[in-house]
Structure 1
Amino acid sequence: MVGIARTGTAGWVYEPWRGVFFPEGLVQKKELAYASSRLGTIEINATFRANQKPESFAKWAGEARTGFVFSIKGPQLVTHIKRLKNCEQELANFFASGPLALGAKLGPFVWQLPPNTSYNRDVLSAFLALLPKTTADYVALAGKADERLKSTPYLATNGVGAIRHAIEMRNASFDVPEVNALLAEHNVARVIADTAENPARALTADFAYCRLQGPARGDAEGYKAADIADWAGTVKAWTDAGKDVFAYFVHEDKLHAPANAIALRQALGIALPDD
């Protein structure tokens, strides 16, 4: 079976995109619908700062086109404050906060570690073991939410498909073979960053998760046509091997991220209804 590739951006509320990516005069409340007509996926970053409400997830799902998928960034309370340690309760509250309300539009969860967090096998192994891998696991963990959750736990799984996780490790201590082996054991994707410091494209799960921050050649000019063509070849090889691919342009040249995502989608021959 051939995998599905989706290309997109981190977030969609970005004022400089108005009149550049978003048509001049488009009202803000229609920006998500427009973005979903041009992209295949968007990474929700609001969840990093604080848990959102089920109504917000349901609203986003309702505004995005059929076939669109959101990924969700895990909360900083888990990644930056607890640093993956003793965080079962925080995970329970996060998963109960409403991501399931995305239904069929729920994609992977991505966990981004701070650069000064170094590798500790026991900590990483325990965290990976906590992550729910099925909807049953998800509901069981989310059902442990406590009074700190400000909304009623949302546990309905209607339309929800695979529960997937990716993790971005930004400290060089994680660049050892045993980390990839540990991720593979739990079917968790190692985030591919495409930077000069970390150009590796190792796959550790049955899908690929890219947060493209390069290009890896290390200049400041952003992604050129040759870079897009190179990535199109890589992504096609992965999908031909049966792996789904989520590719987000999140580099510092954020102004051109939507154009890069569209260029990669088109290089892959993926047409959307509004093309």
Structure 2
Amino acid sequence: MHGHVRIGISGWRYKGWRGKFYPPKLPQRCELQFAAERFGSIEINGTHYSLQRPQSFEQWRDETPRGFVFAVKGSRFITHMKKLRGVDEALANFFAQGVLALGEKLGPVLWQLPPSMKFDAGLLSDFLEKLPHTTEDAAALARDHSPRLKGRSFLQVLKKQPVRHCLEIRHDSFQCEEFIALLRKHDVGLVVADTVKWPLLFDVTSDFVYCRLHGSEELYASGYSDSALDSWADRVSLWATGHEAKDESNHSRLHGHHAVQKNAPKRKKRDVYVYFDNDAKVHAPFDAQGLMERVDDRLNAKAKAA
């Protein structure tokens, strides 16, 4: 028994991928469909940089197969510019832009904090309390959007379902017990982020695990070796079957470890989302396929042994 494992890529529209991952004559408008036939999930990155339109979300929903799920990256206006302060209207705008138009294909919402942001328990607690955890709550929040979204908002609930959130940190001060406790209290996932230069924490804080693999040696550029993919496949298999990944021997920011000794409550299974963001040299889609094969092999072996 194991949770749903979805392995994919961060974004899909990259010029350098054409003729390498995408077939040479594939029309640009068909790239999402091509990628979605090969991966179970993809991160939407455009939402991080600007508000999108409902028609875009509807198009993305309709171009992907049944059972496919999108992760949606939170607005940098909220995380990087407002730095989580005074974000009520901005949060309403984020959920009003069309996120709910994804319907049953709406997966986790990723909130990425800037490297300069240090852990502030009060500030973070206030932000986490504002996050909606159901599509109904998200729709209610979205109704408070600013006037500039009038006529270009989407406030319907196409499917009543939970809304998952996860947080990606990039400052060493988050490696503390109080931070992990806050995430667990608010049922928010901690992003397991392999970034080479920022903390790599294995603490499980929700009923799912969310990984972002940015490059094994060079941020956004380097690929993953067979041995590295084997290691990640082992971790994903552990998480999917309700276990925890093991600490690595050297507890530096370059080696994965737990920030606290206490593990999350035991579960028989957990859902796992993994996205490769090492897109610069076209490693991401091929590394994702390599990890998919390895995880399938491990989970199939566990199922046969059970």
TM-score surpassing 0.5? yes
In structure 2, the partner of 1:207 is 208
Pairwise CA RMSD = 1.9
How far apart are the structure 2 equivalents of 1:200 and 1:146?
Answer: 37
Structure 1 residue 257 corresponds to structure 2 residue 292: no
Distance apart, 1:107 and its partner CA: 0.6
How far apart are the structure 2 equivalents of 1:9 and 1:73?
Answer: 13
Mapped contact 2:100–2:135 kept (Cα < 8 A): no
1:92-241 matches, cutoff 5 A: 92-159=92-159, 161-197=161-197, 198-215=199-216, 221-241=222-242
How far apart are the structure 1 equivalents of 2:17 and 2:84?
Answer: 34
How far apart are the structure 2 equivalents of 1:211 and 1:231?
Answer: 11
Mapped contact 1:166–1:190 kept (Cα < 8 A): yes
Mapped contact 2:134–2:160 kept (Cα < 8 A): no
Distance apart, 1:253 and its partner CA: 4.7
Distance apart, 1:214 and its partner CA: 3.7
Mapped contact 1:100–1:160 kept (Cα < 8 A): no
Distance apart, 1:201 and its partner CA: 1.6
Distance apart, 1:140 and its partner CA: 1.6
Distance apart, 1:221 and its partner CA: 4.9
Residue 43 of structure 2: SS of its match in structure 1?
strand
Mapped contact 2:135–2:159 kept (Cα < 8 A): no
How far apart are the structure 1 equivalents of 2:145 and 2:42?
Answer: 27
How far apart are the structure 1 equivalents of 2:25 and 2:160?
Answer: 35
Task: Give the aligned residue type for 1:265.
Answer: M
How far apart are the structure 1 equivalents of 2:123 and 2:279?
Answer: 31
Residue 184 of structure 2: SS of its match in structure 1?
helix
Structure 1 stretch 158-167 or stretch 237-246: which is displaced more? Answer: 158-167
In structure 2, the CA distance between the partners of 1:123 and 1:205, relative to structure 1 (3 Å rule), is same
How far apart are the structure 1 equivalents of 2:180 and 2:103?
Answer: 30
How far apart are the structure 2 equivalents of 1:150 and 1:11?
Answer: 28
Distance apart, 1:117 and its partner CA: 1.1
Task: Give the aligned residue type for 1:66.
Answer: R
TM-score (norm 1): 0.92
Percent identical among aligned pairs is 43
Structure 1 gap ranges (5+): 271-275
Greater RCO (CA < 8 Å, at least 6 residues apart): 1
Mapped contact 2:166–2:191 kept (Cα < 8 A): yes
Distance apart, 1:229 and its partner CA: 1.2
How far apart are the structure 2 equivalents of 1:163 and 1:18?
Answer: 33
Distance apart, 1:66 and its partner CA: 1.4
Mapped contact 1:222–1:253 kept (Cα < 8 A): no
Task: Give the aligned residue type for 2:206.
Answer: A
Mapped contact 1:93–1:148 kept (Cα < 8 A): no
What is the CA deviation profile of residues 24-59 of structure 1, one whole-angstrom value per residue up to 9, with x for unaligned ones? 211111110000011111111111111111111000
Residue 6 of structure 2: SS of its match in structure 1?
strand
TM-score (norm 2): 0.83
Distance apart, 1:136 and its partner CA: 2.4
Structure 1 stretch 152-161 or stretch 187-196: which is displaced more? Answer: 152-161
